[in-house]
Each structure stands twice: as C-alpha cells, then as structure tokens.
Chains A and B, each alone.
Chain A
Amino acid sequence: MENKIRSEERNKLPLNFKYLNKLGSKKSKELNKKICYVKCEKFQTDFMTRVTPFKAFTRML
C-alpha cells in the first residue's frame, strides 16, 4: 500500500504522512454510486440527496 506522496515531495513531511490510509474502500465506492442528487428550489440547493425510503409504501407484489 505504498503511497506516491512521500516520494514525490522534495521537502520533508510530518511523520504521519508515512501512515497515510486509503480513503474509502471498494465497497464504499459501490455504495456511493447509488447516491443521486436532485435540484430543489425550495431548499435552495442543487444537491438534495435522493434517499431510498426506509420502508415499502405499498405492497402489491
């Protein structure tokens, strides 16, 4: 898991850069894929999260 950062820099970095972790995992990337944003004028945002409902609203199948 060697990171590129330490070899790229000419100046010395704090020691904790040596312990750099990867952010997220494959799994979290998969989870993120499902996040959709919609625009909402009322809340003045272009990034309202489309959250999957917490239950089935109807049960016809």
Chain B
Amino acid sequence: MKYFNLFSSVLITKGASRVLISDLERNVSELQSLDLYNLTEDLKLNSIEDVIKEYDRDSKEIINEYIDFLLENEYGFISHNDWDNSFNPLSFDYDSADVINNLFLELDNFSVLHKIRCAMDTIDIRYLVIYSIRQLSKEELEEIDFIFENTSLEGIEIYCPYHDQMNDSFISGLSDQSQRIYKLVLYNCDNITFSTNENLKFSLEYTKDHITIKNCGIVDLKYFNTNNTKIFESKNYNSCLFKKIGIDIEGNIKNCPLMPDHFGNIGNTSLEKVLEMAGFKKYWNLTKDHIAICKDCEFRYICTDCRAFTEKTHQNKDGLDTSKPLKCGYDPYTGEWSEWSTNPLKEKAMKYYDFKIDK
C-alpha cells in the first residue's frame, strides 16, 4: 500500500469556494479547487489505493492527475506500508524578539522623531513607517535617517510628496548618505525629474496620485505575502496591528494612526506607558479566523488585516469590531474580485468614514 504524506511546510487553507496552497519554503501560494482539498483530507485517512477505489472510472483519472500534481510540485511524498510518522508537523507558534515591530507615524514636526529615538533606549522598535503630509528637503530626509543612527531600528520607509528639486543628484545623494531608509515613495509625482537607477540603497516608487494617510487599508493581491513569519503571525495575532504603534499628526498615540481610540499624546506620555495601558492591545490577538467573511476566505493567512476601516457590520462580545475590512473587494463565496468602492453594500460604512462615493 502506498501513502501520501504532505510536507509540513505546505499549508492548505480552505476557503468557502477554493483552497490556497501556501509553500512556506518556496514562499509562493497558489489557488486550487475544493476537490483537491477533499482529496488531501482523504489521503490523510486512507492509502492511495483505497482512495482511488472509492471513485468511479472517470474520476479515477482526475484523482491520479491530482496526485501527480501534488508530487510534481513536491508538496508531498509517498511512503510505503504506512504514513511516515517520523516527520513532525511544523509548529505555527509565533515568537519574535521585538517589543514593537513597526511604528506608523504621520509626520509634521520633527520633534516627534527625537521622542521616538529616546523611547528606543528602553523598547526595541524594528521598523519606522513615515507618512509626511508636507514636502521634505534632502537635508530633512537625511536628518530622519541620522536621528536613528546607531540604534536598533532596522529600517525606515517614507511616503512624502514629490517636489521639483528631486533630481538624480538628490536621490543618489540621499542613497549615499542614508543607512536605514529601505523604501521611498513619492506621491503627487506628475513629472519625473529623476531616473530610477537600480543602484540605490532603497527602493524608489512614485505615483501621480495624491495619497492621503486615509488611503491605507487597501486589500489587494499585490499586498499578499507568503513567508513563514507572515503566516505564523497571522495564525496567532492580528496581521496588521500586532506589535504596531501609531502616532497621528497631532501626536496622539494609537494602535494605528487611523483608528479612533487614542492613549495619550507623545507630548506628555511615553510609548512604554502606552503599551501598558488597558485597551491599547485589544486588537492584537484578533485573528482572521474570528473576522466575519475573512474566516471563510482562503487568503486569510497571507492577507493583512485592517481594523481602521471595516464594513461595520459585526461586533464580538468584547465589543471588538469583527467586520470584514472595508477596502477588500474579494468575495470568498464566489471567488471573485470587484471594485470595493462601488459596492452598494459598503455605502453605509463609507459614509461613516467620510469616503467619497463615486458612482
């Protein structure tokens, strides 16, 4: 008798209409049918021969094709006489040596940066994401990087408006001077005065659009990530808000700068104190498995959640908003994507958040 063993680094996530196969060693995911899922479940309980026996002649061929597909992609292997039980399942626990993974700052005044720098003496922050509402000069961009010189901050990404001084020497000079900036996004960029050369220390993106911080929360295929850390995190914690801290334009400290609840102001309290405050971490443990609709979606562990903008339809007994993210256009029951902002069902929530409804 032959037995099929799925490799432990292959995660099959069942959705309402399809399954997603995520390969945690090759960092890719692919969509497959529910039939394939049912087959893999069957193969956990029965030998290959017994599984094939259950099907009629026509289906047998399909079953064989599916098994070939699983073997060809090295999603599993065959053992004889029994399943090979010496291989242990992967643990999906998530444990990371940081206090804050990322700080999302809406920047106007640089004094906030110095406050964050001071907080880093006691708490480790890994990444800093800056959304600037105003233009930044080369000196200012360099200063941002310089403030975090020699700290345990691993990287900085900056979203700021484009201006016409941003030419090649601006960009390459910044790349030479900076250490921690790994991503620079220029918005309002209707005119390109720089060439995008590949030898920069950071990735450079630009867009014509006027980006406001309220744009955040978009759910799209391009934002899905398949890797160990991502999946371990989303299986155990909220995939956007866990170990995140936000500071809005007024200095209010929040879990994310776009959420309503705030826990003091950077001017009169410390990040460390805020982390201890009741309610600050209330969304940290809310996983996609407990969010309406997302819990039936095959993308739920590679998708990143949003609690700042939701459909505002569900609440759990602890008063947490468990509705689907507003800016997701995917329907796991039909398996189809559509434009979220024109979905009539979302109109009420959009009005609540003051989003323009275009028809």
A–B direct touch, CB within 8 Å, in complex? yes
Pick from B13-21, B84-92, B221-229, B348-356 the stretch touching chain A.
B221-229
Minimal beta-carbon separation of A60 from chain B (angstroms) = 4
- Specify which chain A residues have a CB less than 8 angstroms from the CB of B219 in the assembled complex: 59
A-contact 0/1 string along B284-314, CB 8 Å cutoff = 0000000000000000000010100000000
B contact residues around A55 at 8 Å (CB): 225, 229-230, 233, 239, 304
Stretch in contact with the other chain, from A6-14, A21-29, A42-50: A42-50
| CA distance in complex: A34, B155 (Å) | 13
Residue B244 lies at the interface, judged by CB distance under 8 Å to chain A: yes
Instruction: Name the distance in Å between A56's Cβ and chain B's nearest Cβ.
Output: 5
CB-based contact B179/A38 at 8 Å: yes
B223 touches A50 (CB 8 A): no
Ordered by A's residue number, 21 sampled pairs between the chains whose C-beta atoms are within 8 Å are: A36-B201, A39-B149, A40-B152, A41-B151, A42-B124, A49-B154, A54-B230, A55-B229, A55-B230, A55-B233, A56-B225, A57-B104, A57-B240, A59-B216, A59-B219, A59-B223, A59-B304, A60-B159, A61-B185, A61-B205, A61-B218
Contact between B218 and A59 (Cβ–Cβ < 8 Å)?
Answer: yes
A36-B201, A39-B149, A41-B151 known; A57-B180 Cβ under 8 A: no
Chain B 170-199 residues near chain A, CB threshold 8 A: 179-180, 182, 185
Distance from A16 Cβ to chain B, minimum over Cβ atoms (Å): 30
Interface membership of B161, Cβ < 8 A: no
Known: A38-B179, A41-B151. A61 touches B211 (CB 8 A): yes
Q: Which of B198-248 contact A (CB under 8 A)?
A: 201, 205, 207, 209, 211, 213, 215-220, 223, 225, 227-230, 233, 239-240, 244
Does A58 sit within 8 A of B, measured CB to CB? yes
- Contacts beyond the supplied A56-B225, A61-B185: 11 A-B pairs with Cβ under 8 Å: A51-B155, A53-B127, A53-B155, A54-B229, A55-B230, A57-B104, A59-B216, A61-B207, A61-B209, A61-B211, A61-B215
Chain B at the A interface: mostly helix, strand, loop or mixed? Answer: loop
Q: What count of chain B residues pass the 8 Å CB interface test?
A: 42
Question: What chain B residues lie within 8 Å of A43 (beta carbons)?
Answer: 152
Bound-complex Cα distance A29 to B235 (A): 34
Q: Is the CB of A58 within 8 A of B152?
A: no
B133 to chain A: which residues have CB within 8 Å? none
CA distance A40 to B154 in the complex (A): 9
Q: A38 vs B156: C-alpha distance in the bound complex, in angstroms?
A: 12
Judge whether A52 is part of the interface by a CB distance below 8 angstroms. yes
Beta-carbon contact of B129 and A36 below 8 Å = no
Is there a chain A Cβ closer than 8 Å to B157's Cβ? yes
* Nearest chain B CB to A40 CB, angstrom units: 5
In the A-B complex, the 7 residue pairs with the closest CB atoms: A54-B229, A60-B215, A59-B218, A41-B150, A57-B102, A42-B152, A55-B225
CB pair A60–B150 under 8 Å, yes or no, is no
Cβ contact within 8 Å between B207 and A50: no
